[in-house]
Amino acid sequence: MAYKLDKYLSDFSKNIIDFGISPVYAELVTIFVNAFVFILVLTLLDKILKRFIIEVFKIFSNKTKSSFDDFLILTNFPRYIGHIIPLVIFKWFFLELLEDYPETTYWLLKAFNTYVILLILKIIRSLLRTARNYFQTKEQYFDKPLQSYLQVTMLFLWGIGIFFFILELFDKNAMNFVLQLGAASAVLLLIFKDTILGFVASIQVSINDIVRIGDWITFSKYGADGNVTEINLATVRVQNWDMTYTTIPTYSLISDSFQNWRGMQESGGRRIKRSVYIKQNSVRFLTSEDLIELKKIQLVAPYIEHMEREVIRTNRKHEVDDSLPINGLNQTNLGVFRKYIDAYLYENPAINKDLFLMVRHLAPTSQGIPLEIFCFSHDKRWENYEHIQADIFDHIIAAVRYFDLEIFEEPSSRDITNYLTHLNQQIR
């Protein structure tokens, strides 16, 4: 084959010399003309081969049940494979064509080898992207940061590729280059500090399962409150509840504090923790008439009857003077109201009774006594959770008056106006 090519080039050069061109220029013209024609033919062959390989892949993918080969086509894998045969022909032809020009051959081989390294990296990247897209269709990998894994792997491969680029272009010895690179490592660490931090953080986030795609996180420092949609080497993308997007540096997930709601979503309920403020001067001991009236409230009637018996037994045992309610043991309207809320929550089907449930007093404040409700709703969906919570406190606020209690509220302008009007009327 090489002999036939040499004979063809020699005959072509002689034909040009016959036109009166000097042998030196005739040889150069022969090289350039044949190289130009060959490159055109090779480009056409490259396009035909790529189209042929793509069509073969499409036919093959249509006959298989797996979607992996479909993703191979989408990531241009057949296109990259189609370059291999033209590259082999290109190298063989030009090595024969430029056999008498060692300097040109030397630089041509460098360019060829550099492109081969780049093509190999592209083929590997295509395979990795195909694997990522394929695994993203599997339910067990839906919440895994596959994009981050891909970027970490490609960063490593590009580092190896750049290493071989430099060795090829500058004829460096691998060991000497590694030693020189070690001397410059401090500068490289400074330049690529953010990339290295992101690389380390991405690995830690994945290994320690700190955040998954689909997790609801709240990161006050960056104003993020929503679902994680993407995790990559440098950033974590969060779609907030107002449909905006917030980008968080990946390293912040291990260096700063944030809230991940995954535990709540995987648990048996969502916590309700809210207080109503009771006016302290509305709290009082209950009389016999009050107890008779409150027994009409079915949820709290058994408790009142039980406590009545306990009050009588205890006070008789200690010979208490019951002329004043403060002596001995007596029931208060706030205590009965607290037990009523407790019974109401236990009767509410929206509340998970298997999880913690409590109604308690907090320390008195200038706004009154905080009566805190602490429980968990069965339904964890935000909209339904808010409806459940609202229904509970609607009922509590409306029920307060039946126990002769008052809820604290800052006076409004109308309250002040009514008070002043009433005061003026009294003065007159």
Q: What is the pLDDT of residues 140-167, one digit of tens each?
A: 776 666 776 777 777 778 877 777 777 7
Q: Which residue would you say has higher pLDDT here, 313 or 91?
A: 313
Sign of CA pseudo-dihedral 407, 412, 418, 419 = positive
- Most confident of the ranges 22-36, 56-70, 166-180: 56-70
Residue 15 has pLDDT above 70, yes or no: no
Does residue 79 contact residue 130 with C-beta atoms inside 8 Å? no
Q: Is 300's pLDDT higher than 70?
A: yes
Hey, what amino acid is at 199? Answer: F
Contact 177, 159 (CB under 8 A): no
State residue 267's pLDDT score.
Answer: 83
What are the backbone dihedrals phi and psi of residue 156, each rounded to the nearest 5 degrees, phi first?
-65, -45
Q: What are the residue ranges of CATH 2.30.30.60 in the chain?
A: 143-155+168-266
pLDDT at site 144: 67
The boundaries of every CATH 3.30.70.100 domain in the chain are: 268-284+333-428
- Per CATH, which fold does 143-155+168-266 belong to? SH3 type barrels. (2.30.30)
268-284+333-428: CATH topology is Alpha-Beta Plaits (3.30.70)
pLDDT (0 to 100) of residue 2:
42
Give the pLDDT of residue 3: 41
pLDDT at 31: 58
pTM above 0.85, yes or no: no
Tens digits of residue pLDDT in 331-376? 999 999 999 999 999 999 999 999 999 999 999 999 999 999 999 9
- pLDDT greater than 70 at residue 26: no
Q: What is the mean pLDDT of residues 112-137?
A: 82
| Section 301-323 average pLDDT | 91
pLDDT at residue 86 in the model: 75
Question: How many angstroms separate the Cα of 11 from the Cα of each of 1, 98, 99, 186?
Answer: 16, 16, 17, 60
Question: In percent, how much of the chain has pLDDT > 90?
Answer: 34
* Residue 71 in tokens: 């993703």
Which range scores top for mean pLDDT: 116-120, 318-322, 340-344?
A: 340-344
